[in-house]
Amino acid sequence: MRLVIIGTGRMGQTLAQVSLEKGHIILAHVGRITSEVLQSINADAVIDFSHASQVLAILEVCLERRIPLITGTTGWYEHLTEFRQKAESVSTARWLWGGNFSRGIALLKVALRSLASVPWVQLPDWEAALVEVHHHRKKDAPSGTAVELSKVFPLTKAIYSMRIGEVVGEHKLLISGPGEEIEILHRAHDRRIFAEGALWAAEWLFQRTYFVGTFDEALSSGLDK
């Protein structure tokens, strides 16, 4: 695919490397957008791993030019309803977003949905907590992924966050009852998994005529085929 990558930080660099390894062509790779960059965007897909302040401008230009857009950038979800409505009003829109492009986390959510359907009220002695561990540069706590997981599986205890060293990302659900416990752990070994998820999403979106939705929705619909 002919790609435009926005974001030259840790994720943008990893994505560029993985894209080239997989034979994609990078037409442009920028960190901060300018009106000049926006006016010249023309590609099979745009993948954005940059900053929340840029999301709307990139979305608008992609909608106008009918270019599939994958938004991996986080921190803008308070505008989700507004941005979503804007995209849904365009019949040719192809826009997919997500705060975690790991396919393992998407599978973990499937498992948690199933566990959440248990009548926990009949197990009053059981408690559930989430533990998330990330590298020391990560500023937000708890992680967006931990918050999302806690919405899928309601916790009786808190989300516990740890920031240490170079840990790419760990999310562990701990469910504890009298005399026994269950641990469900997802560990990201390398941020390449997010880049690979984004490229999977770009290829999936490129084949659609219309889609406005999340990575998880695309993945579950992709698995149907």
Interface positions with ligand NAP (CB under 6 A): 7-12, 31-32, 49-51, 53-54, 72-75, 98-101, 194
Give 174's strand partners: 129, 183
Alpha helices in 95-143 (DSSP H): 103-116
Q: Tell me which residue has its CB nearest to ligand NAP.
A: 9
Which of the residues 51, 86, 138, 172 is marked catalytic? 138
- Compute the least distance from the CB of residue 175 to ligand NAP, in Å: 26
Is 134 an active-site residue? yes
- List 109, 134, 171, 186, catalytic entry: 134
We find the least distance from the C-beta atom of residue 12 to ligand NAP, in angstroms, to be 5
CB contact burial 105-121 (16+ within 10 A = b; e otherwise)? bbebbeebeeeeeeebe
Q: Is the dihedral of CA 93, 99, 102, 108 positive or negative?
A: negative
Minimum distance between the CB of residue 34 and ligand NAP, rounded to whole angstroms? 11
Length of the chain: 225
Name 14's Cβ contacts closer than 8 Å, sequence gap at least 6.
191, 192, 194, 195
Question: Cβ 110 to ligand NAP, closest distance in Å?
Answer: 17
Establish whether 138 is a catalytic residue.
yes
Q: Cα(213)–Cα(69) distance, rounded to whole angstroms?
A: 11
Q: Whole-angstrom Cα distance, residue 167 to residue 30? A: 27
Q: Which is nearer to ligand NAP, 9 or 154 (CB)?
A: 9
Query: Which residues are marked as active site?
Result: 134, 138
